[in-house]
Amino acid sequence: MLNTILVDAGPLIALFDRDDNYHNRIKSFLEGKDFRFLTTTAVLTEVSYMLNFNVQVQIDFFEWVLRQGVLLEEIRQEDIPRIVGLTKKYQDIPMDFADASLVVAAEKRRIFSIISLDSDFDIYRLPGKKMLENIFFR
């Protein structure tokens, strides 16, 4: 059975950008792991923007998504009040929309693990002060 974990933009960018400082490390980390990745369209937007140096790399990324390399959690209109609340709570960081959408996805799906290159997820908390465990840096 696959373990569903959240994935932030950084690891996805590194996976598809051979020149990224984390490219080899992410590839090595993922080898032999049975993860099912979950993310949001906000994260996909960040990834495609950062991969804009090469249209073929963007296409490769989207085709990987199409083959369910990553599953998408929909952020709906009714999720926006929670995103506003998170943005206010973490305004000193600040929390961007993609990060807030991942926290909302974690809450909705009850997922407590993430792969991220950002330390922000060490600060964000789910209800009950539960932390998302960044398994890339454990």
- Please, which residues have CB within 8 angstroms of residue 6's CB and are 6 or more apart in sequence? 37, 38, 39, 102, 105, 106, 111, 113, 114, 115, 132
CA separation for the pair 57, 16 (Å, rounded): 7
* Tens-digit pLDDT string for the chain (138 aa): 578 999 999 999 999 999 999 999 999 998 888 889 999 999 999 999 999 999 999 999 999 999 999 999 999 999 999 999 999 999 999 999 999 999 999 999 999 999 999 999 999 999 999 999 999 987
Backbone φ, ψ for residue 107 (5° rounding)? -65, -45
* Amino acid present at 87: T
Number of other residues whose CB lies within 10 A of the CB of residue 89: 13
CATH 3.40.50.1010 describes domain 3-137: yes
Q: Using a cut of 0.75, tell me whether the model's pTM lies above it.
A: yes
